[in-house]
Amino acid sequence: MELGPIFSAMRRNKVGALVIVIQTAITLAILCNSLFIIQQRLRLSERPSGVVEQDVFTIANQWVGSPPDLAARTQADLAALRALPEVADAYVSNSYPLSTGGWGEGVGLRPSEAHWMTNSALYFADEHGLATLGLKLVAGRNFEPAEISDRNDLESKPVTVVIVTQALAEKLFPSGEALGKAIYYSSQKEPVTIVGIVERLQEPWISLGNITVENSTLQPYRFIESYSYYVVRAKPGQFEAAMKSAQKQLLAISRARVNDKTRTMLETRVRAYRDDRALAVILGTVSFVLLIVTGFGIVGVTSFWVSQRRRQIGIRRAMGATRTAILRYFQTENLMIAGAGALLGVLLALALNFLLMGKFEMGRLNVGFAFMAAAIVLVLGQIAVLWPAMRAASISPVVAIRNA
């Protein structure tokens, strides 16, 4: 097909062609970044926490009033939970992965705030913590009973040993060999020795900027407070029974408590990432609506062009042009215009991504998403122009010339 007539027609319809180019470019820029954000959010929501989530549940335990014997009550609760035939293990903590709330602290290799290398989530756990969560110990050892001490929100003995995640170990010691090395926390000047390294343990918080979210440490504390979490692991195949038995057993020990917030780790994951899923749905809906609007815009402009070119189409048909040739003409014309819009849209998409990277700590746009979005927009344009093009191809040359 000769492209001369197409360029000539576009020069006579500059406004219509420009409208399609701009509309296509804007749609592509928004679609490209929307697809990237959706993919990034969904990918992050599927990150493994390091916990055997299918077997673990948590009980938010709140004592009524301020009992003076909290330590004894907590010990009695834990002993009762561990004694249940459906329960594999349990411990008490200040927080747990994906809970969206917890403690954090600066950590480094020197006892000075100027040398903090990163922040770390702090989980309190006794010697039952690793087994309850199902964490994989890749180096070192678990806590020993003699290393465990009680602590509350305000008072605690200085921590002397910790278990860290592999991500945090590599952050602090890029050359390796973190096991046995000393680190410092911002809350104390005494060094802390790394005695164990676990493969993975996600932080309580969901952060898009922090891609790893695995800078976590386990500290050898038994959390003794009016409000704490019992983390319980059920034996395989006895999950539902373990949850019911655990709640019933705690109330049997004492009713001077509120523990109505019992959640599975799978429920915790859903709650933690619900905003990300909601954002994905919103962006997907907006992108779909934008594609529909763009499609109808192309249909409208092309239909207008067909009505303006009835005489031209009739003459071409009278000179022997087939319906397929007329159809191919409009399809090619639209592909050229949409292609120009797609090229401009890719540049806009990269510029928009650069802006989002600076404002919202987004990742760098994958070039594959630009090509994917461009392909979607081009296919949409070809589908949108199909009906007006078929209508143009069906015009009778005699009728077109007579009515022109």
Burial of 87 (0-12, 13-18, 19+ CB in 10 A): buried
Distance from C-alpha of 60 to C-alpha of 259, rounded to nearest angstrom: 5
Burial of 201 (0-12, 13-18, 19+ CB in 10 A): buried
Q: Is the pLDDT of residue 116 over 90?
A: no
At 5 the pLDDT is: 63
The identity of residue 396, as a single letter, is S
pLDDT band at 222 (very low <50, low <70, confident <90, very high): very high
State the alpha helices, DSSP H only, in 160-273.
166-172, 239-253, 265-272
Q: What is the mean pLDDT of the chain?
A: 85
In 3D space, the residue among 14, 62, 31 whose CA is nearest the CA of residue 230 turns out to be 62
Instruction: Report strand pairing: 116-124 vs 216-219.
Output: parallel
Quick count: other Cβ atoms within 10 Å of Cβ 157?
11
CB 60 within 8 A of CB 95: no
Tell me which DSSP letter residue 201 carries: -
At 25 the pLDDT is: 85
Q: Is the pLDDT of residue 114 over 60?
A: no
pLDDT digits (tens, 9 = 90+) for 332-373: 877 888 888 888 888 888 887 777 766 655 667 777 777 877
pLDDT band at 259 (very low <50, low <70, confident <90, very high): confident
Grouping H, G, I as helix, E, B as strand and the rest as coil, residue 216 is: strand
Grouping H, G, I as helix, E, B as strand and the rest as coil, residue 16 is: helix
Share of the chain above pLDDT 70, in %: 88
E strand segments, 77-143? 87-93, 103-108, 116-124, 137-140
pLDDT digits (tens, 9 = 90+) for 32-76: 888 888 888 888 888 899 999 999 999 999 998 878 899 999 999
Determine which of 31-40, 86-95, 142-151 has the lowest per-residue pLDDT on average: 31-40
Q: Which residue has the tokens 């973190």?
A: 178
At 90 the pLDDT is: 97
In 3D space, the residue among 303, 308, 314, 305 whose CA is nearest the CA of residue 396 turns out to be 314
The strands making up 227-234's β-sheet, listed across from edge to edge, are 87-93, 227-234, 56-63, 257-264
At 115 the pLDDT is: 66
pTM of the model: 0.77
At 381 the pLDDT is: 79
The residue with greater pLDDT, 366 or 159, is 159
In 3D space, the residue among 192, 187, 234 whose CA is nearest the CA of residue 81 turns out to be 234
At 358 the pLDDT is: 62
Q: Is the pLDDT of residue 161 over 70?
A: yes
At 124 the pLDDT is: 97
Distance from C-alpha of 390 to C-alpha of 325, rounded to nearest angstrom: 11
At 8 the pLDDT is: 64
Q: Is the pLDDT of residue 113 over 70?
A: no
